[in-house]
Amino acid sequence: MPYTPHTAADVAAMLARIGAPSVDALFASIPAEVRLPGPLDLPPGRTEEEVRREMKRLAAANRSQEELVSFLGGGVYDCVIPAAINAIAGRSEFLTAYTPYQAEVSQGTLQVIHEWQTFVCRLTGLPVANASMYDGATALTEAARMGAAQRRRPKVAVPTALNPRYRRVMATTLAGEDIALAEIPRRADGTTDPAALRALTAAGDVGAVVIQNPNYLGLVEPVDELAAAAGGACVIACVNPVSLSLLKAPAEYGAQIAVGEAQPLGVPCSFGGPLLGLLACADEFKRLLPGRVVGRTQDVDGRDAYVLTLQTREQHIRREKATSNICTNQGLMALRATVYLALLGPEGLVELGEANRVRCEALRDALRRVRGATLPFPGPVFNEFVLRLPRPAREFRVFARERGLLAGIPLAGFAGCGEGDLLVAVTEKRTAADLEAYARALRDFLGA
Amino acid sequence: MERADDKPETVPAVRWGAGLQASLFAKGRAGRRALRLPPWDGAPVDTALPAAARRAAPCDLPALSEPEVMRHYTQLSTLNHNIERGMYPLGSCTMKFNPRLNEEVAALPGFAALHPEQDDADAQGLLEALARLQDALCRLTGFPACSLHPAAGAHGEFLGMQVIRAFHLARGERDRDQILIPDSAHGTNPASVTMVGMRPATLASRPNGRIDLEALRRAVGPRTAGIMITNPNTLGLFETEIGAIARVVHEAGGRLYMDGANFNAILGKARPADMGFDVVHINLHKTFSTPHGGGGPGAGPICVSAELAPFLPGPVITRREGQWRLEAPATPCTPSVHSYFGNVGVCLRALAYILSNGGDGLTRVAERAVLNANYVLACLKDILPVPHAEGCLHEFVASAAAWKEQHGIRALDLAKRLLDFGVHAPTVYFPLIVDEALMIEPTESEPKESLDAFVAAIRQIHREARTDPELLHNAPHTTPVRRLDEARAARQPDLAHLGPCNCG
């Protein structure tokens, strides 16, 4: 067998040392009534080359963003992945290590997590961050729980234009804790309505207010007005960290918790997983923060060193009193994002943000001029916007796909959007030729 | 030329690993760049973000070149213990060899570059792969249905509890809100129960480390929603009375959840469904060899019985007219625990592992894992007693209580000294029911030679406990850093490096 090194002589010697007559005898504690009577109903093992061939066949049966030109977003984006990231993340030292419980032999992983926390703090403007969450949805859910718990109020206000997948996960999880979701409607321009939020928070039972910026329609929200309307509730900012290169940092508009999906920072789309949830908070929420946190300290010789800390919050100490059960998180993904931010530096980060924004505005501009197409929401965007068609957006998606374009995500039924609405994302990977192909496909589809 | 009044700088020689931890945030120099992005090749764009939307000050990050970044992270990596450096007998974590083939295939662009919002037609190979993994996990567990959505073991527990809760609610049994949990369970079990709005109740173990059937009979009642059992349990023991336990819980109206953290021990030997369980979660990053990545990503799929299958989250994978599809589940209001379909990349690695091993190989995995654990136990039990040794499977929990009593050496000291021998420490102080616990799980991928070296190291440490206990109290001695001031870390949390960058 490929990954077990025992020779027949090894097995015999080991059994002799144990004093057991056979390997099977070691399983004698499993009662006969529950023993599997025959062999497993699975095919026999195969060689490495056979498995490689089979997995390649399966991979080749897909049509990925490698072959198609992607304008898909909605939380996961087709992004540049520098070669250095794969080289670092592929090292056994990072890849095969466990959660760094033994700090003396885990300083590499621990320092990387501390750097990740630092990057998240610098991007969001908040002083504390954790080692990572499964994805943006679970990060937001945990933040809502933190906010409601700290304010001791039973409601969480979420915008209509919040990522619907995030909202579904929140609804599942918060139901178990008797936290109710209240909806903040959007205005005609697609942004969330501060006046409606003010009315919602007036009763004093809203513990947390979620602001997704940009929102799921791609629009930059009136973050200052929304935060001002939160009425003593904890303000949670849900962000794409790449957008924080340009957009107001959560702390700048008074958010006490920031969460987001950090996949665009060097993590492959991989059909939506593994992703990378980020979570940062103000000092007053530190003891409610779920998951791992790394702190800097010293060893007995006075050397700077890093260690998992504030663990008394965690489920292995608190058990049923723990507020979260997260253990294994997305460590290797956090490493990837950390290496990417180190490569970007201050200028590269702004360049990346501008690359998204400029391409997005360029496509918006080109599509605005296609007869029959409209842009229902004129406000500022970062890398995503809504295109409105006079025919079902699903039909355009099929039409564009035949030309090798992934045109966007149909929005029918979401936040008052109709059959003709399509969410279009434009990242730093798109070229002027890609954008022209999109505009041409749209013109041809509409017969314009 | 050196001027006469210059003091020559002293450059001391350094020990391997020393001084490598200089902060990234002190290394930047204004003007340095690594990556550059392709410039925009279209017409100029004249729109700008309104001032109210922009961040006030640009993000202050270190400015570095690519060689510096590569060196920084390569140097940091050398400070980590890892599976390829040496044995990793961390109990309950199943630190087995992570085959490189699995990394290669998961990174194929046909998988890694797929967007989750693409049409099913573009993802036929991926959906087939995931369906095959679900099928294999069902065959291994004996259940008819599987969800790959949970991103980690604790996430699987959470979903499993959601499913049991939803099942009871659908039958109008709102008051069934109590989940029984043995005292040897991992701390995530009670936390997961609390998170879904149910209440955990602790069951004491019998002296032999297994569930007390009489206590269970007394504990069940009309509020019993179910029981969570780790099988084999955290002592490495199979619940020999599982058949009777299942009958008691089912007769009371509850359902049985198996924490499959230790599934590695029973692959091909026994299936959770045959034992009477209704749900099991499986840690793909343990039993199915996907890398731990220094703390994830993992994957914690659950397999369930037919009556619970309608409560699994959507979308579910189906096949009609020769096409793989993702479809909404038939039941409304199923739980949702992840933005998309869980950690797909991890699932692909697990599938490759299952294909490589096959049914025969997976059975061999369990056999060799159990052989290795029993061999180490046999070699050590004279100096490290194992209170619950009888019937130990893939791992065992030894007690250093006698070392503490006789030499003042705690389990922690032994664990830290092991680091000096190039071996990772076992899990210590868990489970809570064994005094000075050392939980040792060698896994099947360790050759006999490394087990012998591990045993020799512990025997030497045992001699040191008698002759030089201070050596152990102060261990480790050869690692990049030595014991840490954890109290200081907690008292004065320094969780981020927030000083200005690029000032050098």
- The answer on pLDDT for B7 being more than 80 is no
3-state SS, residue A263: coil
- Nearest neighbour of B63 by CB, restricted to A95, A339, A346: A346
- Nearest neighbour of B269 by CB, restricted to A35, A94, A96: A35
Residue written as tokens 């570059």?
A: B113
Measured CA to CA, the distance from residue B486 to residue B495 in angstroms comes to: 13
Is residue B369 domain-shared with residue B326, that is, in the same domain?
no
Cβ–Cβ gap B37/A348 under 8 Å: yes
CATH number for position B268: 3.40.640.10
Is residue A103 domain-shared with residue A138, that is, in the same domain?
yes
In terms of C-beta distances under 8 Å and separation of at least 24 residues, what long-range contacts does A388-393 make, across chains too? Answer: A388/A418, A388/A420, A388/A421, A388/A422, A389/A420, A389/A421, A389/A422, A389/A445, A389/A446, A390/A420, A390/A446, A391/A420, A391/A445, A391/A446, A392/A419, A392/A420, A393/A419, A393/A420, A393/A421, A393/A422
Q: Output phi, psi for A183, to 5 deg.
A: -100, 135
Q: Is residue A331 part of a domain?
A: yes
Cβ–Cβ gap A342/B24 under 8 Å: yes
Is residue A188 domain-shared with residue A331, that is, in the same domain?
yes
Confidence of residue A314 (pLDDT cuts 50, 70, 90): low
| Domain end (from A310, A339, A368) | A339
Measured CA to CA, the distance from residue A72 to residue A75 in angstroms comes to: 9
Is residue A234 domain-shared with residue A146, that is, in the same domain?
yes
- Nearest neighbour of A166 by CB, restricted to B194, B339, B375: B339
Q: Is residue A18 part of a domain?
A: no
Measured CA to CA, the distance from residue B503 to residue B72 in angstroms comes to: 18
* B382 in contact with chain A, both atoms CB, cutoff 8 A: no
Is residue B365 domain-shared with residue B223, that is, in the same domain?
no
CATH number for position A145: 3.40.640.10
Q: Output phi, psi for A314, to 5 deg.
A: -90, 165
Confidence of residue A1 (pLDDT cuts 50, 70, 90): low
Neighbouring-strand partners of residue A141: none
Domain span including residue A163 = 83-339
Return the percentage of chain B with pLDDT > 90, whole number. Answer: 88
Chain A residues whose CB is inside 8 A of the B177 CB are none
Average pLDDT over residues B14-39: 84
Is residue A199 domain-shared with residue A296, that is, in the same domain?
yes
Chain B residues whose CB is inside 8 A of the A348 CB are 33-37
Cβ–Cβ gap B375/A330 under 8 Å: no
| Domain end (from A319, A339, A359) | A339
CATH number for position B390: 3.90.1150.10
**Mutation target among A76, A86, A99, A107 for the B interface, most CBs of B within 10 A:** A107
In sequence order, the 6+-apart residues with CB closer than 8 A to the CB of B159 are B147, B149, B150, B281, B300, B302, B313, B335, B337
Pick the closest to residue B107 from A407, A95, A243, A295 (CA basis): A95
Query: Tens digits of per-residue pLDDT, A192-245?
Result: 999 999 999 999 999 999 999 999 999 999 999 999 999 999 999 999 999 999
Query: Tens digits of per-residue pLDDT, B219-236?
Result: 999 999 999 999 999 899
Pick the closest to residue B211 from B188, B253, B181, B254 (CA basis): B181
Confidence of residue B471 (pLDDT cuts 50, 70, 90): very high
The DSSP H or E segment spanning A137 is helix A136-151
Q: How many CB pairs under 8 A join A and B?
A: 703
In a 13 Å sphere around the CA of B197, the CA atoms on its Cβ side amount to 18
Q: Is residue A353 part of a domain?
A: yes
DSSP assignment, residue A394? H
Token couple for B90: 């961390």
Q: Looking at CA atoms only, how far is residue B7 from chain A in angstroms?
A: 26
Token couple for A204: 């004093």
Residue B295 backbone class (left: φ over 0; alpha: ψ -120 to 50; beta: rest): left
* Contact between B70 and A84 (Cβ < 8 Å): yes
Instruction: Find residues 452-471 of chain B whose CB sits inside 8 Å of chain A.
Output: none
* Contact between A267 and A337 (Cβ < 8 Å): yes
Measured CA to CA, the distance from residue A252 to residue A380 in angstroms comes to: 18
Give me the pLDDT at residue B335, please.
87
Confidence of residue A316 (pLDDT cuts 50, 70, 90): low
Token couple for B443: 């896994």
Average pLDDT over residues B138-155: 97
Distances (CA, A) of A114 to A41, A292, A316, B152: 46, 11, 22, 22
CA angle B385, B386, B388 (to 5 degrees): 150
- Nearest neighbour of B291 by CB, restricted to A68, A95, A298: A95
Give me the pLDDT at residue B1, please.
47
- The answer on pLDDT for B163 being more than 60 is yes
Cβ–Cβ gap A104/B374 under 8 Å: no
Instruction: Find residues 8-27 of chain B whose CB sits inside 8 Å of chain A.
Output: 18, 21, 24-25
Q: Computed over its alpha carbons, how large is the radius of gyration of chain A?
A: 25
Q: Is residue A34 part of a domain?
A: no
Residue B55 backbone class (left: φ over 0; alpha: ψ -120 to 50; beta: rest): beta
Give me the pLDDT at residue A63, please.
98
Domain span including residue B127 = 100-356
* B340 in contact with chain A, both atoms CB, cutoff 8 A: yes
Q: Is residue B65 part of a domain?
A: no
* B444 in contact with chain A, both atoms CB, cutoff 8 A: yes
Q: Is residue B460 part of a domain?
A: yes
In sequence order, the 6+-apart residues with CB closer than 8 A to the CB of B312 are B145, B146, B147, B163, B302, B304, B329, B334
Measured CA to CA, the distance from residue B335 to residue A371 in angstroms comes to: 43
Asked if the interface predicted TM-score (ipTM) of this complex is over 0.85, the answer is yes
Is residue B387 domain-shared with residue B328, that is, in the same domain?
no
B377 to chain A: closest CA residue: A18
* Contact between B253 and B237 (Cβ < 8 Å): no
Confidence of residue B237 (pLDDT cuts 50, 70, 90): very high
Query: Tens digits of per-residue pLDDT, A264-295?
Result: 999 999 999 999 999 999 999 998 999 999 99
Give me the pLDDT at residue A360, please.
98
CATH number for position A387: 3.90.1150.10
Is residue A134 domain-shared with residue A222, that is, in the same domain?
yes
Q: Is residue B504 part of a domain?
A: no
DSSP assignment, residue B436? T
Q: Is residue B81 part of a domain?
A: no
Confidence of residue A315 (pLDDT cuts 50, 70, 90): low
Cβ–Cβ gap B352/A62 under 8 Å: no
- The answer on pLDDT for A313 being more than 80 is no
Query: Tens digits of per-residue pLDDT, B377-425?
Result: 999 999 999 999 899 999 999 999 999 999 999 999 999 999 999 999 9
Is residue B238 domain-shared with residue B322, that is, in the same domain?
yes
* B113 in contact with chain A, both atoms CB, cutoff 8 A: yes
- The answer on pLDDT for B15 being more than 70 is no
Measured CA to CA, the distance from residue B476 to residue B437 in angstroms comes to: 19
3-state SS, residue A79: coil
**Mutation target among A88, A93, A243, A364 for the B interface, most CBs of B within 10 A:** A93
Q: Is residue B36 part of a domain?
A: no
B451 to chain A: closest CA residue: A14
- The answer on pLDDT for B428 being more than 50 is yes
The DSSP H or E segment spanning B386 is none
Measured CA to CA, the distance from residue B504 to residue B502 in angstroms comes to: 6
Measured CA to CA, the distance from residue A270 to residue A53 in angstroms comes to: 20
Cβ–Cβ gap B358/A58 under 8 Å: no
Is residue A73 domain-shared with residue A202, that is, in the same domain?
no
Q: Is B132 exposed, middle or buried (0-12, 13-18, 19+ CB in 10 A)?
A: middle
Cβ–Cβ gap A273/B36 under 8 Å: no
In sequence order, the 6+-apart residues with CB closer than 8 A to the CB of A83 are none
- The answer on pLDDT for A320 being more than 80 is no
| Domain end (from A288, A322, A339) | A339
Q: Which amino acid is at A323?
A: T
Is residue B322 domain-shared with residue B453, that is, in the same domain?
no
Give me the pLDDT at residue A178, please.
86
Instruction: Find residues 52-91 of chain B whose CB sits inside 8 Å of chain A.
Output: 52-56, 58-64, 66, 69-70, 72-74, 76-85, 88, 90
| Domain end (from B356, B376, B400) | B356
Give me the pLDDT at residue A324, please.
82
- The answer on pLDDT for B20 being more than 70 is no
Is residue A75 domain-shared with residue A99, that is, in the same domain?
no
Crossing angle of helices A48-60 and B344-380, in 10° steps, is: 160
Instruction: Find residues 257-316 of chain B whose CB sits inside 8 Å of chain A.
Output: 266-271, 274-276, 283, 285, 289, 291-298
* Contact between B394 and B232 (Cβ < 8 Å): yes
Is residue A146 domain-shared with residue A263, that is, in the same domain?
yes
* B448 in contact with chain A, both atoms CB, cutoff 8 A: yes
Is residue A332 domain-shared with residue A403, that is, in the same domain?
no
**What is the rounded average pLDDT for all residues in chain A?**
95
In this structure, the dihedral spanned by the alpha carbons of residues B406, B412, B415 and B420, taken in order and rounded to 10 degrees, is -90
Query: Tens digits of per-residue pLDDT, A10-30?
Result: 999 999 999 999 999 999 999
| Domain end (from B356, B379, B403) | B356
**Mutation target among A15, A40, A92, A381 for the B interface, most CBs of B within 10 A:** A40
The DSSP H or E segment spanning B256 is strand B255-260
- The answer on pLDDT for B306 being more than 60 is yes
Domains of chain B: total: 2
Measured CA to CA, the distance from residue A220 to residue B120 in angstroms comes to: 31
Give me the pLDDT at residue B9, please.
77
Cβ–Cβ gap A31/B341 under 8 Å: no
Pick the closest to residue A330 from A177, A120, A134 (CA basis): A134
Residue written as tokens 């609804």?
A: A171
Chain B residues whose CB is inside 8 A of the A92 CB are 82-85
Is residue A223 domain-shared with residue A268, that is, in the same domain?
yes
Q: Is residue A31 part of a domain?
A: no
Domains of chain A: total: 2
**Mutation target among A22, A24, A30 for the B interface, most CBs of B within 10 A:** A30
Is residue A297 domain-shared with residue A276, that is, in the same domain?
yes
Is residue A331 domain-shared with residue A379, that is, in the same domain?
no
**Mutation target among B23, B55, B377, B497 for the A interface, most CBs of A within 10 A:** B55
Is residue B282 domain-shared with residue B421, that is, in the same domain?
no
Is residue B280 domain-shared with residue B158, that is, in the same domain?
yes
Cβ–Cβ gap A18/B374 under 8 Å: yes
In a 13 Å sphere around the CA of A2, the CA atoms on its Cβ side amount to 24
Is residue B303 domain-shared with residue B388, that is, in the same domain?
no
Chain B residues whose CB is inside 8 A of the A397 CB are 119
| Domain end (from B356, B381, B412) | B356
Residues in chain B: 504
**What is the rounded average pLDDT for all residues in chain B?**
94
User: Which of residues B332 and A171 earns the better pLDDT score?
Assistant: A171
Give me the pLDDT at residue B71, please.
95
In sequence order, the 6+-apart residues with CB closer than 8 A to the CB of A270 are B106, B111, B112, B114, B344, B345
B339 to chain A: closest CA residue: A165
Cβ–Cβ gap B268/A40 under 8 Å: yes
**Model pTM above 0.95:** yes
Cβ–Cβ gap A333/B297 under 8 Å: yes
Distances (CA, A) of B299 to A165, A330, B146, B258, B338: 19, 10, 13, 16, 12
Cβ–Cβ gap A64/B84 under 8 Å: no
Is residue B244 domain-shared with residue B288, that is, in the same domain?
yes
Chain A residues whose CB is inside 8 A of the B190 CB are 315, 319-320, 322
* Contact between B350 and B285 (Cβ < 8 Å): no
Is residue B269 domain-shared with residue B408, that is, in the same domain?
no
**Mutation target among B83, B117, B374 for the A interface, most CBs of A within 10 A:** B117
Q: Is residue B417 part of a domain?
A: yes
Is residue B321 domain-shared with residue B432, that is, in the same domain?
no
Measured CA to CA, the distance from residue B203 to residue B230 in angstroms comes to: 13
Bond preceding residue A214 cis, omega within 30 of 0: yes
Cβ–Cβ gap B191/A324 under 8 Å: yes
Q: Is residue B92 part of a domain?
A: no
Q: Is residue A415 part of a domain?
A: yes
Cβ–Cβ gap B292/A328 under 8 Å: yes
Chain A residues whose CB is inside 8 A of the B425 CB are 102
Q: Count of CB atoms within 10 A of residue B128's CB?
A: 17
DSSP assignment, residue B485? -
Measured CA to CA, the distance from residue B485 to residue B489 in angstroms comes to: 7
Is residue B318 domain-shared with residue B444, that is, in the same domain?
no
Q: Is residue B3 part of a domain?
A: no
Q: Where are the alpha helices (DSSP H) in B278-317?
A: none
- Nearest neighbour of B49 by CB, restricted to A42, A58, A246: A246
